[in-house]
Amino acid sequence: MLTIWGRRTSSNVQALMWCVAELDLPYIRHDAGHIHGGLDTEAFGTLNPNRTVPVLRDGDGDPIWETGAILRYLAATYGAISFWPSDPVVRAQVDKWAEWAKINVAQEFTVPVFWRVVRTAPQDQDAQAIRAAVEELELKLAIADAQLAQNRYLAGAEFTLADIQLGHVLYRYYDIAIERADLRHLRRYYLDLCQRPAYQDHVTLSYDALRVG
């Protein structure tokens, strides 16, 4: 049994929960962070000294933190070969796209774009900074668009861990009030992800609780 700490409105927790659902793993999740608090307690500090979510414990094992490490652990332990290949050469092709999506998309979207649009009061928003951040993000998304012009999924023909790392960001990217580039293949990919029950259950969630103003 997996035990997970983290709130449903956290994009990193959403990535983890989507992965757990795709792998059909039993779990217990405890709300933590934002309006739920709990990160400053002594008990949570023993789980993760960084006091961030998500945190995962598999059975009686040691807690694991950092979303990428958690996802790779689950993929290696419970994932099919198509999701996380056992051959290190083949796996590296999945892992490079997963890491790329985390660094070049998730991190370039969450604070530079999402926080400026959703987590900043309207009167304090800097439209020029938002536009510049979106344009910078879309330089990276254009790379994904080109890859998806050749492949159904980010790393190839099969759904893999790389799709978790890229796809969990796309719901908010396509939902928030911004002007977006016409990335046709990325849009097709996103709409395909929206048909997955696990994506619907754990990613396409309201973020109204995060809005300011």
Evaluate whether 164 touches 98 at the Cβ level (below 8 Å): yes
Q: Which helix (H) or strand (E) holds 58?
A: strand 55-58
Domain ranges (residues) in the chain: 2-78, 88-200
Q: Which helix (H) or strand (E) holds 28?
A: strand 27-30
| DSSP label at residue 177 | S
Which CATH number, 3.90.1150.10, 3.10.180.10, 3.40.30.10, 3.40.50.620, labels domain 2-78? 3.40.30.10
Query: What CATH fold (topology level) applies to the domain 88-200?
Result: Glutathione S-transferase Yfyf (Class Pi); Chain A, domain 2 (1.20.1050)
**pLDDT (tens place) for every residue of the chain, 213 residues total:** 999 999 999 999 999 999 999 999 999 999 999 889 999 999 999 999 999 999 999 999 999 999 999 999 999 999 999 999 999 999 999 999 999 999 999 999 999 999 999 999 999 999 999 999 999 999 999 999 999 999 999 999 999 999 999 999 999 999 999 999 999 999 999 999 999 999 999 999 999 999 997
Reading the block at residue 63, the tokens are 């807690």
Q: How far apart are CA 55 and CA 57, in angstroms?
A: 7
